[in-house]
Amino acid sequence: MLGLPDGTRACLFDLDGVLTDTASVHAAAWKQMFDDFLRARAERDGTSLQPFDVQADYGPYVDGRPRLEGTRGFLRSRGIELPEGGPEEAPDAETIYALSTKKNDLVQEKIIEMGVDVYPGSVRYLQAVRNAGLATAVVSSSANAEQVLDVAGLTGLIERRVDGVSARERGLPGKPAPDTFLAAAADLGVDRTEAVVFEDALVGVASGKAGGFGFVVGVDRLGHADALREHGADVVVTDLAELLGENS
C-alpha cells in the first residue's frame, strides 16, 4: 500500500522539497543573500556582476547542505575565499558565518511573509504511513525545521526531528554524511535496514545510500531523476502520492 519493502518500520523524511515547498523559499533566500554580496563586491572591485543562478548553482552547491557548508561551497565555485567568522560579528561582515546568518534571517522573514506550501500528496502519504503504524522522523539540514513543521501543520504527524540545530548540538556532520539519518533511526528505536529515507536533494540521497538504509526514495522536484538514481535512489517519484498508486 505504501510502495515500501516488507519489514519497513520507519520513514525518515527530508523536509524542504519532500514534504514542503520551502525549497523555493530557501532558493530565493540564497539568491538574495549571494546577489547582494556579489553586487557589492563587483562594485567595489570594478568587475561585472555574475549573479547566483538558481538553476545552475542551487543544486550542486547549497541544496540539502548545512548552511555554512553551502555558503562556503558556492563562494569557492566562484574562486572567493572568506574568513569563517563567528557569532560575535556585525551582520554586514564579509565572513562565511555572517553571510550564512543573513541567509537564515531571510528565510525566516520569507516564511512569515509567504507562509509554507505543503505538497498535498506528501500529506496523504504521511497520514497513510501513520495509519499503517510506521514511525516517522524529519531529517533536515535547516535550522528552521521546527518552525516550518508548525506553520505547515505537520507537527502532529512527525515523531522525531533531527535538524540543523539538533545536529550541531549533537556534533553530527551534515549530509552527504549519513549521521543525521542514522541518529533519527536510533531515536525511533529501529535498525537502519528497517528505515526508509525520502530525499529530493542529491546529497541527501547519497546520505541515505551511504548509511545502508533499507530503501531510498528519490523525490524528483527538479527534473533530475537520473542523477537521483546515480546517487543511490532505489526508486524515483515526482510526488509521494505515486507510492500510494495515485497520480502526482
67-88 confidence digits (pLDDT tens)? 999 999 999 999 999 999 998 8
Catalytic choice (16, 63, 163, 187): 16
Per-residue model confidence (pLDDT) at position 125: 98
Question: What's the grid cell of residue 1?
Answer: 500500500
CA angle 125, 129, 134 (to 5 degrees): 160
- Tell me, what's the pLDDT at 134? 98
Low-confidence ranges of the chain (pLDDT < 50): none
Domain ranges of the chain: 10-21+116-244, 24-114
Concatenating the DSSP letter of every residue in the chain gives: --S--TT--EEEE-SBTTTBSHHHHHHHHHHHHHHHHHHHHHHHHT-------IIIIIIIIITTS-HHHHHHHHHHHTT-------TTS-TT--SHHHHHHHHHHHHHHHHHHH---B-HHHHHHHHHHHHTT-EEEEE-S-TTHHHHHHHHT-GGG-SEEE-HHHHHHHT---TTSSHHHHHHHHHHT--GGGEEEEESSHHHHHHHHHTT-SEEEEE-SSS-HHHHHHTT-SEEESSGGGGGT---
Q: Which of 14, 63, 179, 220 is catalytic?
A: 14
**Is 16 in the active site?**
yes
Q: Under 8 Å CB-to-CB from 229, ≥6 apart: which residues?
A: 218, 236
Is residue 150 part of the annotated active site? The answer reads no
Q: Which fold has domain 24-114?
A: DNA polymerase; domain 1 (1.10.150)
Say yes or no: domain 10-21+116-244 is CATH 3.40.50.1000.
yes
Q: What is the pLDDT of residues 91-139, one digit of tens each?
A: 889 999 999 999 999 988 988 887 889 999 999 999 999 999 999 999 9
pTM of this prediction?
0.79
Cβ 233 vs Cβ 224: under 8 Å: no
